[in-house]
Amino acid sequence: MSTAHQSRVRTRLRKAVTAAVVGVMTAGGLVAAAGTASAQTTLAEAAAATGRYFGTAVAAGRLGEQDYTATLNREFNSITAENSWKWESLQPSPGYFDFSTADRIAEHARQQGMEIRGHTLVWHSQLPSWVQNISSPDELRQVMRNHITTVMEHYKGQVRSWDVVNEAFEDGSSGARRNSVFQRVLGDSWIEEAFYIAHEVDPDATLCYNDYNTDAWNTAKTQAVYNMVADFVSRGVPIDCVGFQAHFNSGNPVPENYHITLQNFADLGVEVQITELDIAGWGDSQAEQFGGVTLACLAVPKCTGITVWGVTDKYSWRAEDTPLLFDGNYNPKQAYYAVLDTLLNAGGGDGGDGGGGATCTVTYAETQRWGDRFNGEVTVRAGNEAIRSWSTTVTVTPPQKISATWNGEASWDTSGNVMTMRSTSGLPAGGQTTFGFTVMTNGNWAPPTLGSCVAS
Ligand code: 9MR
């Protein structure tokens, strides 16, 4: 992404990211904090300041994991069930509906005051074989009506947006409808029929068509979906929204003109939503792309929210691609800060004035001792704001020598007595991490001295 708008945001962003020095500590145990504390800022709060939601896909089975749920509750204000609202989960056999797992997601959202994206009513995948085997149009039409009606009635009033139809177009250059049971048995009209049924059941919900590989404007698939939506709008078919899944990797990178695609759909009069965002990669390049997608949404007033497809890399459907905003230990990644900063700079939220709220403190403890050496551990804590990086120094007394380190990037001054330890990832507001080292005493058992903790 390289629009003028984006570069203006980037410039402001750089100004906002000023380092703040806080916290002095000696081995005796004193922790002194200074600097301006500002309210904790999260993705949800930053998005809300722009009038948008920030959501994630959630697996009901992970809600018992404390870090998972803490991160979910802190950062997100919209939930999509990653799998448990799909047809095979809700109606595994004809007329037998099981909402038990799905309801856990809805209940969590209710308790936390989060919005829900209903995903998904009619989709060729995760569709039980009893549906896939139907060959009578009347029967399939009735089955589709019953599924949409029963599920939407069950959650009526609780769901902001529904993915009524998911992934109905082929990939590649054909621009054709996907050869699903619905397409084969019912013909082209099945998509609008699904929207009419959904509108009858819940006229207040936002009804979306949701698909992937619809991001670059000029591709056959994007054009085919656009033409369908334009046709629906012109004929009064009740479609309110188009969902862009936004699963990106090096073969399918974020397009330069993403905001153009979003704007063109919005110009048809529908909402656009980023519904399943994840981007394979790490570091600067991943962060840049996440910032670009966020900026593309912000550039389009009718882009009402962003959902990432999972809380943490470790539970991603493509974990090996590390495509999400939190790493496997729930540390916010560079990509997280790219999204947060982009939202903050657009929303006029805190962080835009260089107020310097990024702070951290360090404390020391000896954890083990042997005849010739001891292990030290330093706990680094973020202040009231998330921090993207931290560093501190550890000074030993000659003839002591540090012989090993872990959980950080260590470097030494020329004397070899002063070690600087830097973060390998950021910390959420109030979050903490530890690093450690071994000191060969060479006869001197003095504890090391810590320098200030420097956060940015
Ligand atoms: O993330 C979901 C994964 O756990 C399932 O195994 C998979 C089965 O098809 O579906 C994944 O979610 C998909 C979503 O429902 C629709 N768009 C593509 C998503 C990633 O495959």
pLDDT tens-digit series, residues 273-305: 999 999 999 999 999 999 999 999 999 999 999
Residues 274, 396: one domain? no
State what percent of residues in the chain have pLDDT above 70. 89
- Catalytic residue numbers read 276
Residues 285, 394: one domain? no
- Give the distance, in angstroms, between the CA of residue 361 and the centroid of all CA atoms in the same chain: 27
State what percent of residues in the chain have pLDDT above 90. 78
In a domain, 337, yes or no: yes
| Sign (positive or negative) of CA dihedral 42, 45, 46, 48 | positive
Which stretches of 188-322 are DSSP H helices? Answer: 190-201, 220-235, 258-266, 283-298
Q: Which of 348, 370, 398 is the last residue of a domain?
A: 348
Residues 75, 220: one domain? yes
Burial (0-12, 13-18, 19+ Cβ within 10 Å), 114: buried
The predicted model gives 88-95 an average pLDDT of 98
Total domain count, the chain: 2
Please tell me the number of Cα atoms within 13 Å of 456 on its side-chain side.
15
Q: Which domain holds residue 418?
A: 360-455
In a domain, 355, yes or no: no
Cα separation, 244 vs 212, in Å, equals 6
Distance 340 CA to ligand 1 centre (A): 25
- Helix (H) / strand (E) element for 16: namely helix 4-16
Domain CATH number, residue 284 = 3.20.20.80
Token pair for 236: 């009064």
Nearest atom (ligand 1) to Cα of 309? 1
Q: Is 278 in the pocket of ligand 1 (CB under 6 A)?
A: no
361-374 pLDDT tens trace? 888 888 999 999 99
Residues 256, 137: one domain? yes
Does the pLDDT value for residue 27 go beyond 60? no
Straight-line distance from the first to the last Cα atom of the chain, in angstroms, rounded to the nearest whole number = 25
Would you state the pLDDT for residue 384? Answer: 81
- Helix (H) / strand (E) element for 310: namely none
Nearest CA to ligand 1 atom 8: 126
Q: Whole-prediction pTM value?
A: 0.74
120-146 pLDDT tens trace? 999 999 999 999 999 999 999 999 999
Residue among 421, 429, 436, 445 at smallest CA distance from 378:
436
Distance 349 CA to ligand 1 centre (A): 34
Does the pLDDT value for residue 357 go beyond 50? yes
In a domain, 281, yes or no: yes
Strands of 401-406's sheet, edge to edge?
360-369, 373-382, 432-440, 401-406
Burial 58-73 (b: 16+ CB within 10 A, else e): bbbebeebeebbebbb
- Helix (H) / strand (E) element for 166: namely strand 161-166
Domain CATH number, residue 439 = 2.60.40.290
Report whether 221 contacts 211 (CB < 8 A).
yes
Residues 153, 180: one domain? yes
In the block, tokens 């060959």 appear at: 135
Cα separation, 374 vs 455, in Å, equals 28
Q: Which of 348, 368, 393 is the last residue of a domain?
A: 348
Residues 128, 275: one domain? yes
Token pair for 349: 């939220």
Residues 293, 153: one domain? yes
Cα separation, 363 vs 25, in Å, equals 7
Nearest CA to ligand 1 atom 4: 317
In which band, very low, low, confident or very high, does the pLDDT at 40 lie, cut at 50, 70 and 90?
low
In a domain, 430, yes or no: yes
Give percent helix, percent strand, percent coil of the chain, each to the nearest 5.
35, 25, 40
Helix 334-347 with 4-16: angle, nearest 10 deg: 100
Residues 268, 299: one domain? yes
Q: Is 82 in the pocket of ligand 1 (CB under 6 A)?
A: yes
Backbone angles phi, psi at 396, to 5 degrees: -110, 165
In a domain, 1, yes or no: no
Pick the range with the lowest mean pLDDT from 113-122, 343-352, 444-453. 343-352
In a domain, 343, yes or no: yes
Residues 373, 275: one domain? no
- Please, what is the average pLDDT of the chain? 89
In the block, tokens 């007033």 appear at: 301
In a domain, 20, yes or no: no
Q: Which of 348, 369, 396 is the last residue of a domain?
A: 348
Cα separation, 332 vs 16, in Å, equals 18
Residues 302, 431: one domain? no
Go through the chain and tell me how many residues it has.
456
Residues 283, 136: one domain? yes
119, 171, 273, 309, best to mutate for ligand 1 pocket (most atoms within 8 Å of CB): 309
317, 318, 324, best to mutate for ligand 1 pocket (most atoms within 8 Å of CB): 317
Distance 406 CA to ligand 1 centre (A): 37
Residues 248, 381: one domain? no
Would you state the pLDDT for residue 426? Answer: 86
In a domain, 55, yes or no: yes
